[in-house]
Amino acid sequence: MDCLFCSIQETSNPPNPEDEIIDESENFYAKAALGHFVFGYTLIISKEHLLSFAHLPEYLFPELEAFRDNILDKLHNICRNPISIMEHGAINRCRRGGACIDHAHLHLMPLALDLFPILSKRFSFGELESIHELRRFKETQTPYLYYQREGLRGHGVMLAQDVPSQLLRRIACQSLDQPELWDWRVKPLRDVLKQFTGEYKRLTIAGPKASPRSEAMQEKKAAHVTMQRLRTG
């Protein structure tokens, strides 16, 4: 099987900067996103070939969440904006949910603007208690979109009809008034990508510092949990 994200793991000296692994855990790795229209745009990718994170075995979700949070902490040392976490959830090769690569990957985009109000005008999202609830879409064999603003609960929506490829990138670029940048094949923006990769690698060597924004996000998350407990009572 010919898969770009599988082949990246097998290449020790990648010829392209976008194929360099910048962080990894036992079952996941991270790399800078090609089509780097916001500085710090990162992909988290499963090492096992899975179509989407709805196919991830349940026992691996704690590792995914810990790895995601580790990446977020490091990104906060580099990026000023809050981070939105997104996925085009493919169920099979015909029902791809807008995914352009048939391999599970989360988009981590540092964006000043929360895209949820824009997305919720087009789709009827439901709240998810945690990312492991994506498995419900595999059970119903339905492609989906996943969106989470860091520090808040995620949301998912079943897609009765397919959506355009890279829809979430299109919407993000429109929100930035740069609609021409959505397609990573046409606008790879490798210079920005290489700058980010270099900063991330230096940060990994030096060790991340606790950023004020990261601390604020932890306080916000704790407040959100407290409010949920008060409501359920």
pLDDT tens-digit series, residues 4-19: 999 999 888 888 999 9
Which pLDDT band, with edges at 50, 70 and 90, does 209 fall under?
Answer: low
Q: In this predicted structure, which of 142-146, 192-196, 218-222 has the lowest mean pLDDT?
A: 218-222
Q: Residue 123: which of 90, 78, 178, 161 has the closest Cα?
A: 161
Which CATH number characterizes residue 109's domain?
Answer: 3.30.428.10
Which pLDDT band, with edges at 50, 70 and 90, does 40 fall under?
Answer: very high
Q: What mean pLDDT do residues 78-97 have?
A: 92
Do 125 and 117 meet the contact criterion of CB atoms below 8 Å apart? no
- The pLDDT mean for the chain works out to 90
**Structural domains counted in the chain:** 1
Residue 30's domain comprises 4-232
Q: What mean pLDDT do residues 199-216 have?
A: 70
Query: Does 111 score more than 80 pLDDT?
Result: yes
b/e map 139-166, b = 16+ CB within 10 Å: eeebbbbbbbbbbeebbbbbbeeebebb
Distance CA 43, CA 31 (A): 5
